[in-house]
Structure 1
Amino acid sequence: MKKRLVILSLIVTGFAGIVLVFPESPGMKPSRLTKSLPETVGTWTGKPEEPGAAEKEKLAKDTEFERMRYEDEAGQLPSVQTSIVFSGRNLSQSIHQPEVCLDAQGWEFMAQKRHEWKGLLPGDEVLPVKQILCRRGLFRKNEEGEYEDIVLPNGEKAYIWRVFYYTFFGHETIVSGHYERTAEDIKDRLLKGYDQRWAYATFSSFVTQKHRDQGLRFESGAGLDEMQTEAHIQTFLKLLLPIVVSDPGEGYDESLANGKNIGS
Structure 2
Amino acid sequence: MKRLLLLGLLLGGTMSLIFVLPEFRQTDSALKMSIPTYMGSWQTESYPPSKAELDTLAADTEFSKAKCGLRRVEEMSYITGAAPIDIADLSIVLSGHDLANSIHRPERCMQAQGHRDLVTQPSEITLDDGRTVPLMRIISKRDQRIRTSDGEKVITVDYLTYYFFIGHDRVTASHLQRTLMDITDRVAKGEAQRWAYISTTMAFVPSDERGLGDPPDQAMADKKIRQLLKELASNNVNWGRISS
Q: TM-score over 0.5 for the alignment?
A: yes
Counterpart residue number, 2:38: 40
CA displacement at 1:11 relative to structure 2: 4.8
CA displacement at 1:51 relative to structure 2: 1.8
Structure with more of its chain in strand, by fraction: 2
In structure 2, what is the Cα distance between the partners aligned to 1:6 and 1:199? 31
Counterpart residue number, 1:56: 54
Counterpart residue number, 2:239: 247
- Name the amino acid aligned to 2:189: K
Whether the 8 Å contact between 2:207 and 2:218 is mirrored in structure 1 is no
Counterpart residue number, 1:125: 131
Change (3 A) 1:5 1:136: farther
Give CA-to-partner distance per residue, 1:106-143, whole Å, 9 cap, x none.
1112422111x141374x33222211111112324699
- Name the amino acid aligned to 2:145: F
Identity %, equivalent residues:
30
Change (3 A) 1:224 1:16: same
In structure 1, what is the Cα distance between the partners aligned to 2:69 and 2:17? 47
Whether the 8 Å contact between 2:125 and 2:226 is mirrored in structure 1 is no
In structure 2, what is the Cα distance between the partners aligned to 1:65 and 1:168? 14
Whether the 8 Å contact between 1:128 and 1:176 is mirrored in structure 2 is yes
Counterpart residue number, 1:79: 87
In structure 1, what is the Cα distance between the partners aligned to 2:4 and 2:157? 31
**Residue ranges of structure 2 left out of the alignment (5+ in a row):** 74-82
Counterpart residue number, 2:79: none
Whether the 8 Å contact between 1:135 and 1:162 is mirrored in structure 2 is yes
Secondary structure of the residue aligned to 1:228 is helix
Whether the 8 Å contact between 1:48 and 1:68 is mirrored in structure 2 is yes
Q: Normalized against structure 2, the TM-score is what?
A: 0.81
Counterpart residue number, 1:65: 63
Change (3 A) 1:11 1:82: farther
Secondary structure of the residue aligned to 1:78 is strand
CA displacement at 1:46 relative to structure 2: 0.5
Counterpart residue number, 1:163: 160
In structure 1, what is the Cα distance between the partners aligned to 2:164 and 2:107? 12
CA displacement at 1:77 relative to structure 2: 5.2
CA displacement at 1:237 relative to structure 2: 2.3
Whether the 8 Å contact between 1:135 and 1:159 is mirrored in structure 2 is yes
Which of 199, 206, 220 does residue 202 from structure 1 map onto? 199
In structure 2, what is the Cα distance between the partners aligned to 1:40 and 1:5? 48
Give CA-to-partner distance per residue, 1:67-111, whole Å, 9 cap, x none.
111111454552222101111111211111111211111111242
Whether the 8 Å contact between 1:133 and 1:164 is mirrored in structure 2 is yes
CA displacement at 1:173 relative to structure 2: 1.1
In structure 1, what is the Cα distance between the partners aligned to 2:5 and 2:219? 31
- Name the amino acid aligned to 2:14: F
- The higher relative CO (CA closer than 8 Å, separation ≥ 6) is in 1
**Residue ranges of structure 1 left out of the alignment (5+ in a row):** 151-157, 251-264
In structure 1, what is the Cα distance between the partners aligned to 2:185 and 2:140? 34
